[in-house]
């Protein structure tokens, strides 16, 4: 499994069978990303929640690629009204075995609404995702605070890589994310959702210093890891 970081909370994953996944495709308006929405290739799009900086270019990319969107039903309803009708609805605690592997939608503590044509649309509950494929497990936490059930996540799954927000203000900050990481017991922890806007300015290297030796990794935009 190849995982590439594209700034903010954007991840692309290529599984061992060649399936392409894209998490939270916030590209236009994201000054940190290395992607161009019109050139992205993907088979599936996974959306953690309905904020503009996570839904991002979902509709354009889904339509360009005939991609399946995996998200809350409310997000899929919105996507369908915009012409992206191919979707797989999920909800908190549910899991499904896709051809590329198993996806479980995890609880997150945040909010979820999409600003569209002057209105705020309700987009269901915020979430994270556990992806299990080819014997490897990754956790994309989405936007969330630090909450106690992450200890249960760590007991239920042997997490190879956890992607945790550290921006503070809208999500947990570095100290809280480090606490969460210890309870998740992930083999590797990568910070996301920071430095895109002034309100979430953080030093990711200082976050890594809060973690047990050897598990933290700051990924540069465009950098990949192979599991």
Domains and CATH numbers, the chain: 2-220 (3.60.15.10)
Residues sharing a CB contact under 8 Å with residue 81, sequence separation 6 or more, in sequence order: none
pLDDT tens-place string over residues 91-124: 999 999 999 999 999 999 999 999 999 999 999 9
Query: Cα separation of 134 and 116, whole Å?
Result: 38
pLDDT tens-place string over residues 56-67: 999 999 999 999
pLDDT tens-place string over residues 157-186: 999 999 999 999 999 999 999 999 999 999
| pLDDT at res. 28 | 97
Nearest to 60 by CA among 89, 29, 91: 29
């Amino acid at each position: 499994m190849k995982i590439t970081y594209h700034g903010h909370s954007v991840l692309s994953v290529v599984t061992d069978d060649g399936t392409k996944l894209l998490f939270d495709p916030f590209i236009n308006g994201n000054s940190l990303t290395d992607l161009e929405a019109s050139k992205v290739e993907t088979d599936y799009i996974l959306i953690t929640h309905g904020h503009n900086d996570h839904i991002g270019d979902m509709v354009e990319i889904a339509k360009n690629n005939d991609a399946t969107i995996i998200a809350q039903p409310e997000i899929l309803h919105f996507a369908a009204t915009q012409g992206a009708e191919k979707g797989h609805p999920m909800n908190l605690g549910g899991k499904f075995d896709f051809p590329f592997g198993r996806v479980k939608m995890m609880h997150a503590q945040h909010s979820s609404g999409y600003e569209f044509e002057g209105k705020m649309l309700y987009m269901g509950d915020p979430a994270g995702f556990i992806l299990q494929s080819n014997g490897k497990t990754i956790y994309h936490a989405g936007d969330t605070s630090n909450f106690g059930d992450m200890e249960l996540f760590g007991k239920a799954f042997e997490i190879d890589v956890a992607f945790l927000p550290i921006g503070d203000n809208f999500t947990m900050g570095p100290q809280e994310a480090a606490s969460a990481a210890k309870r998740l017991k992930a083999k590797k922890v990568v910070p996301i959702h920071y430095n895109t806007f002034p309100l979430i300015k953080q030093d990711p290297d200082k976050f890594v210093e809060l973690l047990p030796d050897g598990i933290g990794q700051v990924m540069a935009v465009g950098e990949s890891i192979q599991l």
